[in-house]
Each structure stands twice: as structure tokens, then as C-alpha cells.
Chains A and B, each alone.
Chain A
Amino acid sequence: MLKDGCAREAVEKYGDMLYRICLLMLRNTADAEDAVQETFIRYVTVSPDFADSEHEKAWLITVANNKCRDMLRYRKRHYTESEELLDGYAVTKEDSGILDALMELPEKYRIVLALFYIEGYKVDEIAELVCIGASAAKMRLSRGRRMLEEKYRKEYM
């Protein structure tokens, strides 16, 4: 568990994970950076008491997810241009297909799939992280997975 004020340590430890989630959610690098920065600023200014590092990680994910949702709500009113997101990362063309397919899914499926398949969270944990019921998480996972498969096979294979 990190001590209060260890911004560098926190960013080093959780930065990639949060950035990945925010990028998949927001589909825009500048927005993702903004969401991650806001999350860490909140982390260092609020300095919550965490029971353990898992609690700390979950708190960061929840705050980042909320930031992303705020931004997506804003975007509903103001369309922003998308960009070639995966340029610049060590992602092969083959790899980028599955990520592109994921990013084209509706927001609520993206976060659930990312947390389950990429970050390795269980359904119950995901339900808590994104503040929905376990059944809803299960359903979103199942439906999202099917949509992802369909999209990937149809458009990227």
C-alpha cells in the first residue's frame, strides 16, 4: 500500500493500468491523460485510508471510471474527433484489431470487458467497481463478449 503523498510511486505502480482503462473508455489520448491526471490528483489530495493495495487499486479504478463517464457525458453534447489511437504503441496490426473492436463497443461493455479480460477482475469485483449489480455485470460481460466476437470476426479478421 502506498503512503500519502507518494505521487511518483502511485503513478509508476498504477499509471499504465489506469491509462489503459481510460484510453479504452475514452478513445482519445488527451482525454485519457486528463482522466488519469485527475484521478491521481484526487488520490494525492484526498489521501483516503486504504485497507490494502487491492482496495487502493479498486479506488483508483472507480475514480478513473467516474472521470471517464463524466467526460463521455460531456461528449454526448459535444462531439469530438476520434484519432488513430494505437499509433505509437507497440501494438501489432493483428493486436490492434481486437482493441479497435473493443473500443467500438458501447461504453458500459467496454469497461466490464476491460476489467474482466485485461485486468483480471471477477464478476463480483467488477460489479462493485462500476457500481452495478452482479447480475448486470454478468449480463454485460456475456453480451459484450458476444458483441466483441461478432465485431472482431466480421470486421477485423
Chain B
Amino acid sequence: MDKKLKKAADKITMPEDMKERIIRACESAEKNNITRIDNEEGYAEVVSGTERVAPRSRIIRTVSAAAACLVLLAGIGTTGVLLHRQNSNIAGSSAASDAEHSCPFGDFSTFDYSFDAGDGKYGCYSAETYAELSDFLNKFDWGESVEKEASRDKEADVEDPMYDIKWTRGDTPPIDCDLHIANDGYVSYQESMMDFETGGQMPLTENSKWYKIDFDVFDSGIKEIIAQENDITQFVTEREQEYTVKLGETCETENWEYLVKSVKLTKSGEGMDILPEGHYSCDENGDLTCDSTYIIADMEVTNTADEERSLYMNSSRVDLYNYNGDKLDPAASTEATAYTFNGDRSIYEGDFFKVDFKAGETMAFRVGYIIDDEYIKKSFDVIRIEINHSGMEGFNENIRYYILGEKTSLNDIDAAYRDEYVRLIDELQEKTQNSRNYMEAISAWLKDGRAEVSVSTFHGANRRLLGRKEKDKLLNYIESHDFGEHDTETVIPDVPDDYMEIADDGPFKFALNIECDNIIFSGMLAFTRDMKYAAFYSGGVLKYVEVIELPDAEQLEFLYNTD
């Protein structure tokens, strides 16, 4: 079978036309790349052009736009919130409450759902906000379901603002429900369930529905609710808390109490049950039945809250790390494989083991972790058990791991292996969320000494990298002017929002290309010929996402006039 696989796969080759498209795109991107030449001011940049990578097929561009939107969502989402706080109105709320409508998806107040507004909070809002959201969603006029529009421009699905609402229905088996609200008012409702053979999500297309809503009403109503979130409470999640549990000691976290009773190394026999993943079979004594070596921890978990609630444990994150001395041995930290002793009471829901607790109830758990066989012969000075838990589904994967005595989180170490693209997303989200506008984000990079800025004067011309003094001038200009809050409303007269070329006869005089940590800020900041406006373009969406009116524009002359 192995040879058959290779023989078959080797017949897959890249089509020649695709190869040529990729080569052209690479050569175009290469032209935009930077060659540094030393000069007395540190260094200057010489590049051969500013042309964009040639557009690929429509399908591919759709995917690219989707990826880019992932970068932009938080920034733009926040923009919306900030704007809305400035110009508060309750059109959405009032429109929604004027009439009672039967919500076609059920009563949101009874769902344990996540509401992602693309603002970088991933639905981490307070209970009060969720109560308001439920009320709004229940009363909102969704209208009658409509036919799926095959000819619809799907790019609207990935352009900000958009909203995603997810919840799980039933438990035999659980069905994931996904409600996506696109900015053209097109609402898609999709259901999916886990395919127990592949472990993947299988869409239940027969249950899919589509609606067409008044997006402006929905958007303004939601923003009104979310904007209040910032005033009401600073929501604290469990994501950055760290607890160290020693054998025999009780650890209390957010009304969950853990007691680790014993830890042992063991080797079991045949019979591993691979589905659901991470959930291994055991014999009548609760011992794992798998031909692997395990670290087994027996523990008790108590719900110390005075109410019923569920504990979610993420199977891929129930980890036991073992240390030889005080150093984590990565070879012993293999893929997390969790087994919950209370198999009859825990329900596997996609990525989580969900266990329902009564108030004050204590339950025994056993978690297992596969290690290399050689470790069964070794002794351990310290065994540390890290458990990702949460009272709310969805937060688990954000909990951070630390090695004892180390200040750097394992998440960060792991992140070092990730693509820099992911890092750029985080960077953009953080900077744009914490900045009042994109100028401030750039200012922060300049201050940190991490930014490089180059000037493009027109299509085909060389780019000029700003030297230290020029960067200082730019920083000084940004810091000495107030550009206001994020502004997605202002438009530049007579300039289509999808125009982003710097050409001899175009509306823009020049553009700044920003790099941070050698990563090109996806897009550019283009200045109009009359120097009244600057427009931020973000890669992928091909539209300016923010327009700034430039005060004292003559102070920027050094950027384009080098005489």
C-alpha cells in the first residue's frame, strides 16, 4: 500500500499554466522586494517597482481576500465600535424592538453560543452583554428564508463587518450550528456534525437556510450593544491564569477545585479505541487498554460554585508534562491524549469533553498521557500536571502553558515555529485595537525602532527607503497631530475606494509602504495629490479601509520632495 500511495501521488504534478502564473507572481513580488545599500544616513533602499502581484483567478483571489480579512477584522471591527461610541444611536435596538418576531433559530437566551463580531474578542463578552445580544437576536426581524443565491458575490462573506454566531444543539450526536451574517445582509445558517469515521466536521446541507436582512439595522444594533461592553465591565477570562498543582495538594481556580491524588507510570495491553480521538478505552478497573506507556494521574475535581455548571476539558490540551530535574524533556511531551475516568458522564463534543456538575459535586477523573517507552524506567523529580479547563466552551485553547521556573510561556515557544504571517495578524490586531487610528499604529512601530518606511512616487519608479532622520520627522509629524478616531466613513472625493495604484496620472501623489520586523505591512498609505487626504489600503481587500484628513501637510514635503 505504501508504494501504491507514492506511485499514485507522484503522478500529481503542477499544471504548466499554474506554474507560469506562480512564477510571474513571484517575479512581480521579487521586484517589489528591497535591496539595501549603505549610505551615510544608515542605509537607503533601491527597488525596481511598486507594481502589484498580478491578480490570480477569481477563486484564488477570493481565498486571498479571505485570508487578508482575517488580518483586518479586529481592526475594522474595533473601528466600528469606536465610531459608534462617538455617534451613538439606537436605531438597531429600536428597530428590533418595535415588533416581536419569531426567531427562526430558536431562543438565543437558551443557547450557550459564541458571538464573534470580528473585533478580536472572539465573543469574550460579559454575561450582561450576552443577555442583551440574546434579546436583540430573538427580536430581530430575520424575515422568511430565501433561496441560496448562486450568483452572489461571495467576497461579501469575508469582508468586514461580518458576524459569526455558533452554538451546539443536542448531544446525541451534537450538531454544530453556524450563523454567518455577511455585510450585504445575506445570512447563512449551516449545521454540521462530527464524522466519527474521519473526525472531521460533516456539513448537513439539507438543513442549510438563507435569509436576507437589513444589515445596517443589524450592524448598528449589535455595535450599540457591544460598545456598551467597554463601559460596563472589563471581562476577565481564564486564559492567562496559571496554576501549579502538587501531588496531594488542592488547587482552587475560578470555583473549580482540583486535587491530584496519585501519578503513576504504566504500560497497558492491546485494544486502543481511536474514536473519538484522544478518548481511549479502559477495562472495568478504569485502566487504559492500549499498548503504550502512560503517565496516569488520578484526580478529583469539585465544582465549588453554588450552581450547576459544566466543565469543559479540551482533549488536545489536557497535558501532563514530566520533568527530569527542573527541565522539561520535550521527548516525553507527546501529543496530548486524555481519558476521563467518568466516561459515562462525560460527553465528547467536538474538541471538548463536557462534564456536567451539580453544585458542590466532586468527581473522580483519570487523565492519561502517552510517553516514550524508555521513560517507564526513569524516575522523576517533579511531575507537573497542566489541565486546561474552563467553565465556558471555547476559551480553553487560549490558556497559557508555562514550564516551571521559566517566564516564557510554552505558547510563545510554540508560536516561534508558526508562520510569521500568523504573527503579523496578532501584531496588527494588537496595534490597531490599541490605537486610535492607523497612524498611531505606525507611530508605535517607529518608536520601537521596528518600522521601516519607504516612499513610492509613481508606478514603476524606485522606492526610496527613509533614513533615520526622515523617520524621526515622520514620527514627529504623527505625534504632533491629532488624526482622530478610526474613520471608515470618510471618502476621498472623486477617488473610487478600490483605486490603489500609484501612477503618473492617478489621484495619488505618493505612497508609504510600511514594514515592521521585516514584514511588509499588508497594504500602503497613499497621499492624494492635493495632500488633503491619506488613505490606508490593506492587502487583499483592495479597498481603502481608513481615510485621514491631513493637517499641516506641508510638513510632509520631505517625503516626496528630495531636491
B-binding residues in A (CB < 8 A):
5, 7-8, 10-12, 15-16, 19-20, 23-24, 30-31, 33-34, 36-37, 40-41, 43-47, 63, 66-67, 70-71, 74, 76-79, 86, 88-92, 95-96, 98-99, 102, 104-106, 113-114, 117-118, 131-136, 139-140, 143, 146-149, 151-152
In the complex, which residues of chain B have a beta carbon less than 8 angstroms from the beta carbon of A43?
26
In the complex, which residues of chain B have a beta carbon less than 8 angstroms from the beta carbon of A147?
274
- Is chain A's interface secondary structure helix, strand, loop, or mixed overall? helix
| CA A134 to CA B329, docked complex, whole Å | 12
CB atoms of A33 and B18 under 8 A apart: yes
| CA A24 to CA B18, docked complex, whole Å | 17
* A144 → chain B closest CB, angstroms: 10
| CA A78 to CA B154, docked complex, whole Å | 11
CB atoms of B56 and A70 under 8 A apart: no
In the complex, which residues of chain A have a beta carbon less than 8 angstroms from the beta carbon of B422?
66, 70
Indicate whether A104 sits within 8 Å of B25 (C-beta atoms), given known contacts A31-B63, A99-B5.
no
Indicate whether A152 sits within 8 Å of B9 (C-beta atoms), given known contacts A30-B60, A63-B419.
no
* B196 → chain A closest CB, angstroms: 12
CB atoms of A30 and B63 under 8 A apart: yes
Q: Mark B47-60, 1 if CB is under 8 A from A, else 0.
A: 00000010011011
| CA A92 to CA B12, docked complex, whole Å | 11
B504 CB–A CB distance under 8 Å: no
CB atoms of B11 and A33 under 8 A apart: no
* A71 → chain B closest CB, angstroms: 7
User: Which one of B198-206, B301-309, B436-444 contacts A?
Assistant: B198-206
Indicate whether A89 sits within 8 Å of B13 (C-beta atoms), given known contacts A11-B23, A79-B190, A133-B330.
yes
In the complex, which residues of chain A have a beta carbon less than 8 angstroms from the beta carbon of B30?
5, 7, 44-45
Size class of the B contact interface (CB-based, 8 Å): 35 or more
Q: How many A-B residue pairs have CB under 8 A?
A: 172
Q: Which of B194-234 contact A (CB under 8 A)?
A: 197-201, 203
Which 5 pairs across A and B sit closest by C-beta, in order of nearness? A95-B8, A7-B26, A66-B419, A135-B334, A136-B335
B14 CB–A CB distance under 8 Å: yes
CB atoms of A98 and B5 under 8 A apart: yes
Known: A106-B198, A135-B372. 18 other contacts (CB 8 A): A5-B30, A11-B26, A33-B56, A33-B57, A37-B25, A41-B26, A66-B419, A66-B422, A70-B422, A76-B201, A77-B164, A95-B4, A98-B1, A117-B2, A117-B5, A131-B417, A132-B335, A133-B333
B64 CB–A CB distance under 8 Å: yes
Indicate whether A139 sits within 8 Å of B370 (C-beta atoms), given known contacts A20-B12, A33-B56, A89-B11.
yes
- Tell which of B5, B158, B417 has the most Cβ of chain A within 10 Å: B5
In the complex, which residues of chain A have a beta carbon less than 8 angstroms from the beta carbon of B29?
41, 44-45
Q: Which of B259-289 contact A (CB under 8 A)?
A: 274, 277
CB atoms of A23 and B1 under 8 A apart: no
Indicate whether A11 sits within 8 Å of B5 (C-beta atoms), given known contacts A20-B12, A34-B63, A106-B198.
no
- Tell me the nearest residue of chain B to A116, going by C-beta: B2
B178 CB–A CB distance under 8 Å: yes
CB atoms of B67 and A70 under 8 A apart: yes
Q: Which of B479-530 contact A (CB under 8 A)?
A: 518, 520
| CA A143 to CA B6, docked complex, whole Å | 18
In the complex, which residues of chain A have a beta carbon less than 8 angstroms from the beta carbon of B190?
79
* A87 → chain B closest CB, angstroms: 12
In the complex, which residues of chain B have a beta carbon less than 8 angstroms from the beta carbon of A12?
19
CB atoms of A71 and B417 under 8 A apart: no
16 A-B residue pairs with Cβ-Cβ distance under 8 Å, sorted by A, are A8-B23, A11-B23, A19-B12, A33-B56, A33-B57, A36-B14, A45-B30, A70-B67, A79-B192, A96-B8, A98-B1, A99-B9, A133-B331, A135-B331, A135-B335, A152-B1
| CA A12 to CA B1, docked complex, whole Å | 29
CB atoms of B18 and A98 under 8 A apart: no
Q: Mark B18-41, 1 if CB is under 8 A from A, else 0.
A: 110111011101101100000000
In the complex, which residues of chain A have a beta carbon less than 8 angstroms from the beta carbon of B25?
37, 40-41
In the complex, which residues of chain A have a beta carbon less than 8 angstroms from the beta carbon of B18?
19, 33
- Tell me the nearest residue of chain A to B205, going by C-beta: A79
B95 CB–A CB distance under 8 Å: no
